[in-house]
Structure 1
Amino acid sequence: MSQSVFFAHANGFPSGTYSKLFDALEPDYRVHRLDMHGHDPRFPVNANWENLVEELLHYHAALRRPELYRGVVMLDSPLLTVADQLVIRVAKRFGFIDRLTPAGRTLGRREDFEDFAEALEYFAGKPLFKRFDRDCLEAYVRHGLAPADARGLRLKFDPATEISIYRNVPHTAPGRARQLAVPLTLVRGRHSRVVLPHHARLVSHIPQGESLSLPGGHMFPLERPQDTAALLKTVFARWQQRESHKESP
């Protein structure tokens, strides 16, 4: 019987972009996910992602409801230090948060394309996408764009929503990291500029925390989807083994 995994996609990248990763996890794991996080009008983006936590259960939600989880894996998502939180708070207060997050690069981004081929060529030439697995790049264009009202294709993610998510990145948490009652694995891209070595070291102070890495940058799950799936299977199997030992008489 397959185990269930809930996957939270990166901002601006619909879940379908990760199809190759999901396929590599099956049939051992059934992956549940939202198509596009942050676009449900019942959960509008607000300060510190409080409504997004209600829509999507991730690290913050695991602090609130640990009974819903067997563990949490963060794929190049930083576990913030006190200093990080202070910098984010100040950046919001004084209006330079766009320089700390991708919000500034999202402003004025191209949204419309004539067809799939044009969009694929365009994104293939962008630095963020240049190391993407080809199947993942094609999946991004296929799932991330939709027919426009007039003609051609348009990005499905609403730019204003995407920017709002970046601008409201949490500078608080509903509890201390050391209070996390489930295993936490942080997987860092070795060339990431988002999750830095000091973030990885912070995980070592969590009772059930561990830090791992894979080759690649911040988007390594879409650069190396099969390697990512193999690592996730190893992590999940280790959690299951620990549980089995705890249940043994």
Structure 2
Amino acid sequence: MAQTIFFAHANGFPSATYGKLFTGLAPDFQVAHLEQHGHDPRFPVDDNWQGLVDELLAHLGEQDEPVWGVGHSLGGVLHYHAALRRPDLYRGVVMLDSPLLTGMDRMLIRAAKRFGFIDRITPAGRTLGRRERFASLDEARSYFAGKALFRHFDPDCLDAYVQHGLYREGEELRLRFDPVTEIGIYRSVPHTAPGRVKQLKVPLAVVRGEQSRIVLPHHARGVRHVLNGEHLSLPGGHMFPLEHPTLTVDLLKALFMRWQRIQERSA
């Protein structure tokens, strides 16, 4: 039976946007995921994303065996925090352009929340007032294709976002990922963690987009404290899993094969 990858998406991007990635991982792996993090009223968005981690852990607990946790941006941080709390639910964790925050990073985030400039150091400010209604799929695709964030998307991934990131409301199409929830997630970005990286008991890889302005080289240095920790990179920016899904699939498969051999030798 194929091992399970539990995928967690980036803020604002429903999991179906990553369909090309999931298809590439099958049939070697079974991919599980939530449609959208942060939209279950049982697990509200709160400071330091504790409710979002609880939501993830609740679904991981329903799996038949430990999973490979793979997360993009928001999703990588959720898996990292969840694995610190419940390492027994994991085989390993891969953070796709998700930062391992340093002490200085956490101090800056804490200050930004306290003194009201968190929107300037997260994408929340750019999300405020963003267009969320469209007359047609063609109009929506044209709009997003012209935005810098989407400019280098794989065409299939852009199509998937337009198809699955919108829903019909009357005569219009509207963003499926609630903008208020998206902004709330940015504003509550963690300045604390449930443990230190050196306490992580499963393998960890931080994969950075070579042109990323979100994850900087120092954000991955903490992996040196983890047994079988790895710092890797792929072409592209912060959105590289949707810009280069095939390269991302190849890296994940090679990484899991390598970790699997290490775990079998040490068993």
TM exceeds 0.5?
yes
The letter of the residue matching 1:169 is V
- 1:76 — aligned with what? 97
> Offset at 1:216?
0.3
TM normalised by structure 1 equals 0.97
Q: Distance in 2 between matches of 1:199 and 1:53?
A: 21
Partner residue of 1:40?
Answer: 40
Cα deviations by residue, 1:90-139 (Å, 9 ceiling, x for unpaired): 00000000011110011000000011100000000000000000000000
Tell me the TM-score normalised to structure 2 length: 0.91
- Secondary structure of the equivalent of 1:45? coil
Instruction: Write the letter of the residue equivalent to 2:36.
Output: M
Deviation at 1:209, TM superposition (A): 1.2
- Aligned to 2:91, the other structure's residue is in SS state coil
Deviation at 1:201, TM superposition (A): 2.2
User: Match of 1:86?
Assistant: 107
After TM superposition, the structure 1 = structure 2 runs for residues 3-22 of structure 1, keeping only pairs within 5 Å, are 3-22=3-22
Match of 1:198 among 212, 218, 242: 218
Q: Distance in 1 between matches of 2:18 and 2:120?
A: 27
Calculate the aligned-residue CA RMSD, in Å: 0.8
CA contact 2:197–2:222 (8 Å) conserved in 1? no
Cα drift, residue 243 of structure 1: 1.2
Listed one character per residue, the Cα deviations across residues 224-248 of structure 1 (whole Å, up to 9, x for unaligned) are: 001000100011111110111012x
Identity among equivalent pairs (%)? 68
d(CA) in 2 for partners of 1:129, 1:17: 12
Gaps of 5+ in 1: none
Is the counterpart of residue 232 in structure 1 residue 252 in structure 2? Answer: yes
Of residues 125, 141, 159, the one that matches 1:104 is: 125
Task: Find the aligned partners of 2:220 and 2:197 in 1 and give their Cα distance.
Answer: 13
The alignment covers a number of residue pairs equal to 246
After TM superposition, give the deviation of residue 8 of structure 1 in Å. Answer: 0.4
Whole-Å separation in 1 of the counterparts to 2:86 and 2:249: 26
Which has the higher relative contact order, 1 or 2, with Cα contacts under 8 A spaced 6 or more apart?
1
Which consecutive unaligned segments of at least 5 residues does structure 2 have?
Answer: 58-78
Shift of 1:204: 1.8
Question: Which of 166, 189, 203 is equivalent to 2:209?
Answer: 189
Structure 1 moving runs of 4+ over 6 Å? none
Task: Provide the residue aligned with 1:142 in structure 2.
Answer: 163
Alpha-carbon offset, residue 21 of structure 1: 0.4
| Partner residue, 1:176 | 196
Q: Which secondary structure does the structure 2 equivalent of 1:227 belong to?
A: helix
Match of 2:233 in 1: 213
Question: Aligned letter for 2:203?
Answer: P
Whole-Å separation in 2 of the counterparts to 1:202 and 1:127: 30
1:65 is aligned to 86
SS in 2 for 1:204: helix
Distance 2:56 2:248 in 1: 22
